[in-house]
């Protein structure tokens, strides 16, 4: 059974940093792209960024709203994807989800999702 579990969320002050983790089980983690999404309270879904598999050079792409502040990385030996969030703003307050992509990330086949972790940016 495929499982994705996010952790690391919580309350953080504006301007500070936070790192989220997404621990995967039940899949050959290194074969797949991984992506992060978020959903602000009462709002729609927003794509945050992705990291491709090592086969596709571990390439990363980010939404304009987080580019330069957020970084996605992966540890294939441990089956974990990370979202490093720096210079956090109040607008970053959201539930953050990780998701497993297809082998070709552009297909948009994000077929397994974690339960989400809440990040609240407030003073």
Contacting residues toward another protein, per CB under 8 A = 35, 37, 44-47, 50, 61-64, 97, 102, 106-111, 113-116
CB neighbour list of residue 7: distance below 8 Å, 6 or more residues apart: 20, 21, 23, 117
Least distance from C-beta 25 to another protein, angstroms? 16
> Please, which residue, 32 or 37, has the CB nearer to another protein?
37
Least distance from C-beta 6 to another protein, angstroms? 10
Least distance from C-beta 104 to another protein, angstroms? 9
Beta-carbon-side half-sphere exposure of residue 48 (alpha carbons within 13 Å):
25
DSSP letters, 31-52, are: GS-EEEEEE-TTS-EEEEEEE-
Q: What residues pair up with 49 in beta bridges, in sequence order?
A: 36, 62
> Please, which residue, 61 or 75, has the CB nearer to another protein?
61
Spatial separation of the C-alpha atoms in residues 10 and 24, rounded to whole Å? 21
> Please, which residue, 17 or 55, has the CB nearer to another protein?
55
Least distance from C-beta 123 to another protein, angstroms? 27
């Amino acid at each position: 059974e495929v499982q994705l579990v996010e952790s690391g969320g919580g309350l953080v002050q504006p301007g500070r940093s936070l790192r989220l983790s997404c621990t995967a089980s039940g899949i050959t983690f290194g074969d797949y792209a991984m992506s992060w999404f978020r959903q602000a309270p009462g709002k729609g879904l927003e794509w945050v960024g992705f990291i491709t598999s090592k086969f596709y050079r571990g390439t990363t792409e980010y939404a304009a709203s987080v580019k330069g502040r957020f970084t996605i990385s992966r540890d294939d030996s441990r089956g974990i994807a990370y979202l490093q969030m720096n210079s956090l703003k109040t607008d970053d307050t959201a539930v953050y989800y990780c998701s497993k992509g297809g082998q070709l990330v552009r297909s948009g086949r994000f077929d397994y999702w974690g339960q989400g972790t809440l990040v609240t940016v407030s003073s």
